[in-house]
Amino acid sequence: DAKTTQPTSMDCAEGRAANLPCNHSTISGNEYVYWYRQIHSQGPQYIIHGLKNNETNEMASLIITEDRKSSTLILPHATLRDTAVYYCIVLNAGNNRKLIWGLGTSLAVNP
C-alpha cells in the first residue's frame, strides 16, 4: 500500500477554511484516498474518500490532483470542534485490504 506524508501540525482560525495537504506520490491506479479524523479521547471518525474525482459531502471537500500524487482535505468553515488529528490513508481496493494509519496532522482551530 502507498505511504502518505502529512505535516505534523497546522493551525487555523475559527470560521476560516482549513486546507490539509497529503502527499501520496507512490499511489497506484486502484488505490483510494481516505480521510479520517480523531478528536481527543474519541474513536476515529470517517470524513470522506475518493479515487480520481473531487468529492464533497456535508463535512468536507476532497481535492485530488490530476496525477493523484497528492490531495487536500478542505474544511470550508472550521469550528473549534474541528480540532483533531486528521489522517490521510491510501487503500488498495483488493482483497484483505486494510487501512494503514500514519501519525496524521494535528489541526488546532483557534478562536
Partner 1 sequence: DTAVSQTPKYLVTQMGNDKSIKCEQNLGHDTMYWYKQDSKKFLKIMFSYNNKELIINETVPNRFSPKSPDKAHLNLHINSLELGDSAVYFCASSQGGQGSEKLFFGSGTQLSVL
Binding site residues, partner 1, CB under 8 A: 30, 32, 34, 36, 41-46, 49, 51, 85, 87, 91, 93, 96-99, 101, 103
| Residue (95 or 111) nearer to partner 1, CB | 95
Smaller CB separation from partner 1, 5 or 45: 45
Closest approach of partner 1 to the CB of residue 44, in Å: 5
Q: How far is the CB of 5 from partner 1 (least distance, A)?
A: 16
Cβ at position 64, least distance to partner 1 in Å: 14
Distance between CA atoms of residues 53 and 49, nearest Å: 10
Bridge partners of 48? Answer: 35
- The string over 19-37, giving b where at least 16 C-beta atoms fall within 10 Å of a residue's C-beta and e elsewhere, is ebebbbeebeeebbbbbbb
Residues 63 and 52: beta-carbon distance below 8 Å = no
